[in-house]
Structure 1
Amino acid sequence: MATSTQLFFFLPAISFLPLIASSSYPYSIPQTTKNLVLNTIDSCWRANSNWASYRQALADCAVGFGKDAIGGKYGAIYKVTDASDDPVNPKPGTLRYGVVQTRPLWIIFAKDMVIRLKNELIVNSYKTIDGRGANVEIAYGPCITIQGVNHVIIHGISIHDCKPGKSGMVRSSSDHVGHRLGSDGDAISIFGSSNVWVDHCFLARSADGLIDIIHSSTSITISNNYFTQHDKVMLLGHSDQYKEDKIMKVTIAFNHFASGLYERMPRVRFGYAHVVNNRYDGWKMYAIGGSAEPTILSEGNYYIAPSNPSGKQVTKRIAKKDWKNWKWRTYKDAFVNGAYFVPSGYGTCAPYYSSAQAFVAASASLVPALTIHAGPLSCIVGKVC
């Protein structure tokens, strides 16, 4: 396998690809070009040096359960020029002003910025937050809430050191301001929402979870993200009593679960999780966990166990009884340094994707290369990302 230096070095070698004359890419870039290895999402767009002129074509590139998330694909481009924040009366040019609009918008950034939100950022339907071309951080305050909406894409943002939100008035749309009781301090909270895609983000060190997907949220893909330095990483399902989460379907693909993580990568309740082609650099407690009879397919992942001899098991069931009937399967995973997965249950664990959602999992041996650029990419206009 090529080294990481070789993989990065050969990226410019494919910049000769022709410019695109439509809003969608009419070709499929090969997954492997010389020593560059691209996963099935990145191969859709990263090798096009003219990506900045066709930003909204990114919406065609998701796979898995969040494939249909279109974000602001059919809306105007909105440019964030001002890093300030007003939770009630946001100014034009700020991020909050863009995300609360009722019309579809594809939101980009004019420059590098650190956005310190004064209260939770409530994102409306049909929005894309696209950080490509700038170094954008949402940090040191409350972070992102996706509640009761659909068709949201978040791409290429660093979200870290998130704090709980305050009780108070917060605008959720251009024509509605409501009283909020305060947010928990998640980096991204997805509550009662569908068709959501979170891709190529950096997430770390928040007061609660990094990503929570709860209250009947479904049709979601979490991909190409870099997670680090956190305890409770990702929760799927509100509680062991909230059976409405049975409809939840989430794809977790091509992420890098890096150093300093304890648990919940993810923890699942009731619903279905396809955990595929992710890299795990150890864990303090466990990697894959759950309660309340979830179904989990672990496929083609690269699990590196921690050095602690009592912490080699990938899985943890938080249960009093009957866990042996839960459908948890490992398929073509790679286990390093003594890692092992305890399967359970009977019958198929297949995700039953639609033809549009379906993709072929790569060999686990390729995962270190496929996840090497997890997190925000250094995209420069006129060059491949």
Structure 2
Amino acid sequence: MSSLPYADVDSSMRAMAGRAEGFGRFSIGGLNGPLYYVTTLADDGPGSLRDGCRRKEPFWIIFEVSGTIHLLSYLNVSSYKTIDGRGQRIKLMGKGLRLKDCEHIIICNLEFEGGRGHDVDGIQIKPNSRHIWIDRCSLRDYDDGLIDITRQSTDITVSRCCFTQHDKTMLIGADPSHIGDRCIRVTIHHCFFNGTRQRHPRVRFGKVHLYNNYTRNWGIYAVCASVESQIYSQCNIYEAGQKKKTFEYYTEKAADKEEAKSGLIRSEGDLILNGAQACLLTGVGEECMFHPSEYYPTWTMEAASDSLRTVLQICTGWQSIPRPAEQVVIP
């Protein structure tokens, strides 16, 4: 049986803090703040998720209710917040979350579905946000992206999430004119992209480490490297449906460069199934490709295999798990 990372973070409520793998590993969320109890499914007002997220002080936000919260506008999340859905089943519909000019955010065990309206994202991370961990969330069926990371937001990990029923799944870097996005660094691991059409992810400028993800039955391509991006694809499973192109390269011109460029993808230990075509650009700027070990010493990874594929279909997205107890420290 496959071993999943950070298996002990459900041992106590705040054991998650600082336990992400990869670029988002320093995120502590609301570790140093009190508990905030969400007691209503209302969009706003006392005891609402929006009220807890807008406050400036650190909070570890937990839910005393289950059900659907219909967001009438983007819900802005301020710094040092954990939104912890363990122990309940909370679905966010309508608009999504917006992480704007914030740091140290953990979002765990929520469902996101069905944002309707122009350019609605499930989770929108921009601008200048950092130290973010999105873990065990289910996302589907928004108008624009499920998770978009743009405008110099960096040091982000997305783990054990499930993405379904969607077109433009995950965009990292929105435009070739945004040259400040060269700072973007994202880790995506143990996620399940199930029949989504494209952008698993699509990357401009940033450095992205993909490992132990399962992407199947895409509609255009699996992963796209655009202008100056560096994507390290390690021990992932790519299982084609009708469309066979695993890796796509889009050429664009950075605003401060004369020559248009695509990005780079390095594939190491990936399992390519059902006739998927994984063409790599070789000999072009390979010396510029980053290696994850330059940035973090360890990560929990296994060989891509049938057993991993089975586990990722079960253990990604929202999980029916009890809320861990709050550990009381006795002096």
Task: Specify the alignment match of 1:264 in structure 2.
Answer: 199
**Any gaps of 5 or more consecutive residues in structure 1?**
1-34, 165-182
Structure 2 distance, partners of 1:313, 1:304, is 10
Structure 1 distance, partners of 2:174, 2:221, is 19
Give how far 1:282 is off.
1.5
Aligned CA-pair RMSD: 2.0
- Given residue 85 of structure 1, which amino acid in structure 2 is its aligned partner? D
Q: Deviations over 1:203-236 (max 9, x none)?
A: 0000111010000010000110000000000000
Task: Specify the alignment match of 1:302 in structure 2.
Answer: 237
Give how far 1:289 is off.
0.6
Select which of 297, 322, 325 maps to 1:380. 322
CA contact (8 A) 1:293 1:323 kept: no
- Given residue 163 of structure 1, which amino acid in structure 2 is its aligned partner? R
Alignment of 1:336 with 2:273, yes or no, is yes
**Any gaps of 5 or more consecutive residues in structure 2?**
254-258, 326-331
Task: Specify the alignment match of 2:95 in structure 1.
Answer: 142
Give how far 1:61 is off.
2.3
Give how far 1:155 is off.
0.4
When residues 326 and 67 of structure 1 are mapped into structure 2, their CA distance, relative to the original with a 3 A threshold, is same
Task: Specify the alignment match of 1:28 in structure 2.
Answer: none
Give how far 1:370 is off.
4.1
When residues 212 and 230 of structure 1 are mapped into structure 2, their CA distance, relative to the original with a 3 A threshold, is same
- Given residue 14 of structure 2, which amino acid in structure 1 is its aligned partner? Q
Residues paired across the two proteins, number: 313
Task: Specify the alignment match of 2:80 in structure 1.
Answer: 126
Task: Specify the alignment match of 2:302 in structure 1.
Answer: 362
Q: Deviations over 1:18-39 (max 9, x none)?
A: xxxxxxxxxxxxxxxxx4x331
CA contact (8 A) 1:202 1:226 kept: yes
Give how far 1:338 is off.
1.0
When residues 262 and 256 of structure 1 are mapped into structure 2, their CA distance, relative to the original with a 3 A threshold, is same
Task: Specify the alignment match of 1:349 in structure 2.
Answer: 290
Select which of 256, 270, 274 maps to 2:209. 274
Alignment of 1:44 with 2:8, yes or no, is yes
Q: Deviations over 1:51-70 (max 9, x none)?
A: 3xx21111132100000011
Give how far 1:40 is off.
1.4
When residues 116 and 324 of structure 1 are mapped into structure 2, their CA distance, relative to the original with a 3 A threshold, is closer
Give how far 1:117 is off.
1.1
Q: Could you tell me the TM-score, scaled by structure 1's length?
A: 0.77
Task: Specify the alignment match of 1:75 in structure 2.
Answer: 33
- Given residue 269 of structure 1, which amino acid in structure 2 is its aligned partner? R
When residues 146 and 83 of structure 1 are mapped into structure 2, their CA distance, relative to the original with a 3 A threshold, is same
Structure 1 distance, partners of 2:191, 2:133, is 13
- Given residue 363 of structure 1, which amino acid in structure 2 is its aligned partner? A
Matches within 5 A, 1:139-178: 139=93, 141-164=94-117
Structure 2 distance, partners of 1:108, 1:74, is 15
Identity fraction in percent? 35
CA contact (8 A) 1:65 1:353 kept: no
Select which of 171, 176, 181 maps to 1:240. 176
Select which of 47, 62, 72 maps to 1:108. 62
Give how far 1:81 is off.
0.5
Moved over 4 A (4+): 320-325
Larger mean Cα displacement after TM superposition, 118-127 or 359-368: 359-368
Give how far 1:350 is off.
0.8
- Given residue 315 of structure 1, which amino acid in structure 2 is its aligned partner? F
Structure 2 distance, partners of 1:85, 1:245, is 33
Task: Specify the alignment match of 2:248 in structure 1.
Answer: 316
Task: Specify the alignment match of 1:175 in structure 2.
Answer: none
Name the SS for the 1:227 alignment partner: strand
